Amino acid sequence: MKKSFLTLALAVAASAPVAAQTSAVTDAILNQRSGLLDKARASIDKAATNEKTIGKAKTWYTRGEIYEQTMDNPIFAKQLQPGEGTQKAFESYTKTIELDGKAGEYGKQAVPKLDNLYARAFNDAVNSYNAKDYDKAISSYKLASQIKPTDTTAVLYGAYAYEAKQDLAGAKASYAQLQGMGYKSVAMYARLIQMARTEKNDALALQTLQDALKVYPTNKAFMLEELNMYISSGRGKEALDKIDRAIAADPTNSNLYAVKGSILDQNKQPDLALAAYRKAVEVDPNNFDAQFNLGVYNYNRAADAYTRASKLSLKDYQTKGKGLEAEGKKFFEASVPYFEKSLQIQPDDRNTLTSLQKVYFRLGRNADSERLNARLEALKK
């Protein structure tokens, strides 16, 4: 009899640790349901480190739920460090899926939970950014990126937060991460170019610009920027040769002619610039830059004629002044169709509105001038 009693006692003793740890998960759930989230966390954290329950999907799913509820509780949330709740819930739901798969009893419930955590982390990051707490924003964006590793949005916004913090190394690392993910955008390359300039690294700026042109070979801003770099470094002829080669390869690309016109303008070759702009408009009448610059060309010619007339002596004005003013009026009139077309293409462009309003005024078209002035005032509001 004694021997049997001892055997039974040993069996009960051997089973005790398992029961105790299983009850830790049960205790966590009961405390969770009772709203005692501090006790629920203590119990579930113990269960998550015990060898008997660490491998159970239920343990980790319960842990994720408890940390989520703690974050939403105005009292118990104060017991968590910033970002701790989201981080631990993320770890818990990830572990749940790892153990149970996405089709398991707990795994399939964990998948939408992760989506909710991504939204929470991203919103936390946005709120921190708006509050100018850039370190916290960066941390939250990184967590959001952890939750959805293939999503580029959190990485991109994290780069913006680094820039706002003036941490160029961090921003560049984020942009490099984006490029490694296959992300491309004009804005990204523009920011990288600007950062290289801020660091006074002209070689890097040019290399980045050339990388951008490989992805966006017909982008007007990038083409003009590259050519400007060539000109500023004393390579003006090379710049024009480059654009001419591009035109030869793609003669129906209106942007190339518009860029060439801009380069010639900067080189003080207005007649050649005029020809390039006219060609751009011939190829594509809706090329805003070419239409606007043709307007500017005629506007400047008109202004020059009126300026020369105003500087004449009274005697010279009587013989030459009227002719110069007539020439100026002719060029103002010539600018109108180009500015009007520009405004048709981009109705809210302030430069076009301002230029055309002045031309109307000089031509005595007061009603048209006042109409555009009203539009300019409306844009200020």
Q: What tens digit of pLDDT does each residue of 61-85 get?
A: 989 889 888 988 888 888 988 778 8
What tokens appear for 83 in the block?
Answer: 């970002």
Contact 279, 251 (CB under 8 A): no
- For the chain, what is the mean pLDDT? 87
What's the pLDDT tens digit per position in 80-139?
A: 887 788 889 888 888 888 898 988 999 899 889 888 889 888 988 999 999 999 999 999
Residue 63 CA to chain centroid, in angstroms?
36
Evaluate if residue 212 carries a pLDDT over 80: yes
CA gap 28, 326 in Å, rounded: 91
Q: What single letter denotes the amino acid at residue 45? A: D
Closest CA to 156 of 133, 196, 129: 129
Helices (H) and strands (E) in the chain, counts: 19, 0
What's the pLDDT tens digit per position in 195-207?
A: 999 889 988 998 9
Reduced to 3 states (helix: H, G, I; strand: E, B; else coil), residue 169 is helix
What's the pLDDT tens digit per position in 287-332?
A: 999 999 999 999 999 999 999 999 989 888 888 989 999 999 999 9
Element (H, E) at 177: helix 168-180
Q: What single letter denotes the amino acid at residue 310? A: S
Evaluate if residue 12 carries a pLDDT over 90: no
Evaluate if residue 20 carries a pLDDT over 60: no
pLDDT of residue 26: 87
Write the DSSP assignment of 24-35 as a string of letters: HHHHHHHHHHHT
The pLDDT > 70 percentage for the chain reads 94
CA gap 54, 22 in Å, rounded: 11
Contact 199, 191 (CB under 8 A): no
CA gap 41, 45 in Å, rounded: 6
Write the DSSP assignment of 292-357 as a string of letters: HHHHHHHHHHHHHHHHHHHTS-HHHIIIIIHHHHHHHHHHHHHHHHHHHHHHHHSTT-HHHHHHHH
Closest CA to 47 of 64, 35, 33: 64
Residue 280 CA to chain centroid, in angstroms?
30
pLDDT of residue 196: 92
The shares of helix, strand and coil residues in the chain, as percent rounded to the nearest 5, are: 80, 0, 20
200 Rama sector, left if φ>0, alpha if ψ -120 to 50, beta otherwise: left
CA gap 192, 9 in Å, rounded: 72
What tokens appear for 325 in the block?
Answer: 């003013």
Task: Annotate 109-172 with three-state secondary structure.
Answer: HHHHHHHHHHHHHHHHHHHHHHCCCHHHHHHHHHHHHHHCCCCCHHHHHHHHHHHHCCCHHHHH
CA gap 192, 76 in Å, rounded: 43
Write the DSSP assignment of 247-274 as a string of letters: HHH-TT-HHHHHHHHHHHHHTT-HHHHH
Rounded to 10°, the helix 322-345/350-362 angle is 150
CA gap 33, 371 in Å, rounded: 68
Contact 216, 222 (CB under 8 A): yes
pLDDT of residue 306: 92
Q: Name the more confident of 6 and 318.
A: 318
Count of positions (residues) in the chain: 381
Evaluate if residue 2 carries a pLDDT over 50: no
Closest CA to 258 of 234, 285, 232, 235: 285
Confidence bin at 40 (pLDDT 50/70/90): confident
Tokens 């790892």 sit on residue:
98
Element (H, E) at 277: helix 270-283
What's the pLDDT tens digit per position in 232-280?
A: 787 878 888 888 888 888 899 998 899 889 888 888 888 999 999 999 9
CA gap 180, 149 in Å, rounded: 12
pTM: 0.59
State the average pLDDT over residues 142-167.
93
Evaluate if residue 7 carries a pLDDT over 80: no
Confidence bin at 361 (pLDDT 50/70/90): very high
CA gap 258, 285 in Å, rounded: 12
